[in-house]
Amino acid sequence: MTQLKKLSSLACLSVLHPWAVCYTLFMLRMRRTLAFSARIHNYLLLLYLFSFALYVSQLWWETTGRFGTLVGTMHTMLAAVSLGHAAVLLVMSLFIWIVDRVFPAWDFFGTILRSFVIGTCQVLVALHATVSDEGLALRLFGG
């Protein structure tokens, strides 16, 4: 009985809504999962920036083609995993907002900012790869 009293005080249990405990505990777990997953996304961003630094290091030091291929593959894989994880975090944030009517702004906008950093670095890498492989052609008047 004391266990039920603890749950009722923590989860706003009322006699009219016995499902309130399960619902509130579910949303509390989802918020904790969102916070933990946002922390994991921060670490993925740090790992991605490390691989970006490895990619940029090829500009100053001579490396083998195998190293370039490995770093490029790792860079693309980390970008895909990070952006996929960001999509899951955004869906979780929107779900919490719709169901619980509490908008997790810090997690939502932080995820968008981290995704923007990853996308910007990915565009820079693609631009560098295109220019270094195919060169740069300027056209003055159309095609």
pLDDT digits (tens, 9 = 90+) for 29-67: 888 898 899 999 999 999 999 989 988 888 788 888 888
- Tell me the residue type at 88: V
Looking at residue 36, its pLDDT comes to 93
For residue 10, is pLDDT > 50?
A: no
Helices 105-134 and 65-100 pack at an angle, to 10 degrees, of 150
Tokens 């560098």 correspond to what residue? 128
Mean pLDDT of 116-126: 92
- Whether pTM > 0.85 for this model: the answer is no
